[in-house]
Chain A
Amino acid sequence: MPTMNIIQAVNDALDLAMAADKDVVILGEDVGKFGGVFRATVGLQEKYGEDRVIDTPLAEAGIIGAAIGMAIYGLRPVAEIQFSDFIFPAYDQIVNELAKFRYRSGGEYPCPMVIRTPFGGGIRGGHYHSQSPEATFAHHAGLVCVAPSNPYDAKGLLLAALASPDPVMVFEPKRIYRGPAHGTNWSAHPKGEVPAGHYTVPIGKADIARPLRGKGIPVSLITYGAMVETCREAATKVEADGIDVELIDLRTLVPYDLPAIVESVSRTGRAVVANEAPKTCGFAAEIVALIMEHCFDWLQAPPLRVTGYDTPFPYTLEAAYLPDSGRVATALRSVARYK
């Protein structure tokens, strides 16, 4: 089976979708001739033409607004927002228009389209190339939000998004685009194996990224995106402490897989939830609230969050800001030893 990195997996999914359906169009800044600043659309304009892989003017509200107009007419646009930090000029188009089009028109104007946007830090991008705004979109009814953590899921979720009747936002974990950790590549990772051809990863289904080993105090560790690999590292670290981690990769934030969360936490009785975004109103807060509502009777310890701090995203002190495997391990130990 071929191995791919996340960029190649995204490119492969887009290529398959464009070959299969001439209504699929890509639009965004630098996505055409250049192939995107992260190279996710490389070669596609050459193959499918300038009318289907559109280098747009530099205006995010225009990219999303035009994509909405295309989608309601019957095209299947895939809009790229170069960095999720730049998505805010399009916030009105996304939350007031895209998210509400089907509802506000009484079902007359569904608006199925895909927004791809890289999110998260770890690339020395400072304030404006590092943020994780997914919770602000998950908050608005009407937007499906997914966040793959590996090449296999990146391709399968994108193909599922392209087949969805709803608008789907794909938050791509940019710091693990090319390898699960700095200086590595995806070829040695089981999820770096990406089947050729069409397949989908179901929207709304979480994945057990690391099952319990059956030895030690069980803890459910729940996260998504680039934090999956950070959490995997933490799980290995705490093995020596007699802690047995079940790592749950949410994959979809909206609609989240509540049964998977409840099933795991009711079994382990302990939970740590991690997200890279700031703590206040981050997506981890929602998951912890769900755990309290649905798993209270099984809990052996208060669930903990490991998140970014409530500051703007820093440049020089990035490594201090980002939740690392050490902070996750500390939280795991704390939850496991709670008396």
Chain B
Amino acid sequence: MAASQPPPVEIAPLRVLRADGTILDPEFIDSVPASDIARLYAAMVAQRVYDDRMIKMQRQGRLGFYLACTGEEACAYGPAYALRDDDWMFPAYREPGVALWRGFPLQTWVDNLVGNCDDPVKGRQMPVHWSARAQNVVSISSPVGTQIPQCAGTAYAMRQRGDDAVAICFFGEGTSSEGDFHVGLNFAGVAKAPAIFFCRNNGYAISTPYEKTTATPHIALRALGYGIRGQVVDGNDLFAVIKAVREAAAFARAGHGPTLIEAKTYRLAAHSTSDDPKAYRSREEEAEAAAQDPLPRLRRWLEAQGLWDEAREQQTQAEASEAILAALARAEAKPHPPLTTLFDDVFAARTPLLEAQALELAAHLSSGDSAYRASGGH
């Protein structure tokens, strides 16, 4: 049985803004209010400040772990802007912007980094593994790629319930080697589910470069194998990312099925605070990538429009710095999640076994010989 005409796979990178800040596609620029772009840019500048400060705080021992999105900000803020609030998003661990843009409170995000009583996930996961139900952003896992078939299933459910929404998931190019990438795209392709698979090709799976993880020149080419639409986009061009996601969402809402977007970008920072890129890549390469940095590129355009200047840049950075450090100080002052939360949410209600184990723990903690108490737990 022959499949119908496959959707197109576009490997010439979608680009709206050149690296020098000049425009390739004026018509598209006109479709985005300039004031929105200024707000997006300010949010991306703030994100970079947050990342910088949080890495420093981890170095000072105030956070257990951190993972920055430096250089890839457009790949979170662009899709979040392009989609509607009823569209669900499945981030990996490098897209805090998707929730922050939708109003996930900065304080809540930092409460998660600390794992205190106001952490939405109750201190149960490492930093950067938050959950944002009110923003329709799904809880984050550490094993990579698991969100891909889940996103396909949510997209299927949206259509099944007659909702006009789409589901997007984010992952790195390294993750595209996982089996879940294959099964998720295949399922969504067959079902023509309204899903968007957003691959941030940042060049590295921790230390392993792109060419060691795949023999295809473009991840987006794999779309052809699933009979779905594929699109390469310049991931350092906020306008182009918005355009690509808007087109993919319109395509999905029209019932044509999923799109695999490959955003070519670069991880300017380390993979995480446990990583040192000096061990596997050159300073020259990093300098070359920095020249493509999405932030200065957008700033040049905004400045040319008279929408930005050095004073606003300084002010935005100062405010972000103050906000994040104040949020961290407040987060650190908050107590641990209550001990009772250890046994909650395993199931909807505690089982008799969990009730018994909660009592067992309480007895142990009052015994005077508890590592938790000894570590300052209360």
Contacts and interface: CB of A to CB of B under 8 A. Distances in A.
Interface string B157-189: 110110000010000000000011011101100
Contacts of A64: 149
Interface stretch (B244-252, B277-285, B346-354): B346-354
Contact of B153 (A68, A105, A142, A164): A68
A107 interface: yes
A70 interface: yes
Interface stretch (A29-37, A94-102, A267-275, A298-306): A94-102
A93 B146 contact: yes
B137 to A, nearest CB: 10
A65 B152 contact: yes
A75 interface: yes
Nearest to A77: B153
Interface string A48-73: 00011010110101101111111111
A65 B183 contact: yes
A19 interface: no
Given A61-B183, A108-B120, A66 B139 contact: no
A109 B138 contact: yes
Contacts of B351: 204, 254-255
A128 interface: no
B348 A258 contact: no
Contact of B141 (A25, A61, A75, A104): A104
B109 interface: no
A74 B141 contact: no
A47 to B, nearest CB: 16
A89 B178 CA distance: 12
B51 interface: no
Contacts of B133: 105, 108-109
Nearest to B153: A69
Given A73-B158, A75-B160, A59 B186 contact: yes
- Best-surrounded residue of A68, A103, A110 (most CB of chain B within 10 A): A103
Contacts of A74: 157, 161
B149 A93 contact: yes
A92 B179 CA distance: 11
A322 interface: no
Contacts of B231: none
Nearest to A166: B347
A56 B156 CA distance: 12
A141 interface: yes
Given A59-B187, A93-B146, A107-B345, A70 B121 contact: no
Given A109-B138, A142-B347, A69 B155 contact: yes
B122 interface: yes
B186 A57 contact: yes
Contacts of B179: 61, 89
Nearest to B159: A51
Nearest to A51: B160
Contacts of B180: 61-62, 65, 92-93
A36 B229 CA distance: 32
Contacts of B161: 23, 73-75
Contacts, number: 152
A23 to B, nearest CB: 8
A69 B149 contact: yes
Nearest to A256: B353
B346 A102 contact: yes
Contacts of A73: 88, 153-154, 157-158, 161
Contacts of B187: 56-57, 59, 62, 65-66
Interface in A209-259: 254-256, 258
Contacts of B272: none
B125 interface: yes
A106 interface: yes
Given A57-B190, A93-B146, A258-B352, A70 B156 contact: yes
Contact of A66 (B122, B153, B345, B349): B153
B337 to A, nearest CB: 9
Nearest to B356: A258
Contacts of B191: 54
Contacts of A101: 139
B242 interface: no
Interface in A306-333: none
A106 B345 contact: yes
A69 B197 CA distance: 14
B344 interface: yes
A131 to B, nearest CB: 21
Interface string A128-169: 000000000000011010000000000000000000111000
Contacts of B88: 73
A74 B348 CA distance: 16
A309 B102 CA distance: 56
Contacts of A142: 346-347
B198 to A, nearest CB: 16
A260 to B, nearest CB: 12
Contact of A65 (B122, B153, B345): B153
B119 interface: yes
B213 interface: no
B207 interface: no
B184 A144 contact: no
Contacts of B143: 92, 96
10 contacts: A54-B191, A61-B149, A62-B149, A66-B184, A69-B153, A69-B156, A70-B154, A96-B146, A104-B124, A105-B138
Given A107-B122, A255-B352, 15 more contacts: A62-B183, A62-B184, A62-B187, A65-B152, A65-B187, A66-B149, A67-B153, A68-B153, A69-B150, A69-B152, A97-B141, A102-B345, A108-B120, A108-B121, A256-B353
| Interface pairs A-B: 3 shortest CB-CB | A69-B153, A65-B149, A62-B183
Interface of B: 88, 119-122, 124-125, 129, 131-133, 138-139, 141, 143, 146, 148-158, 160-161, 167, 179-180, 182-184, 186-187, 190-191, 344-349, 351-353
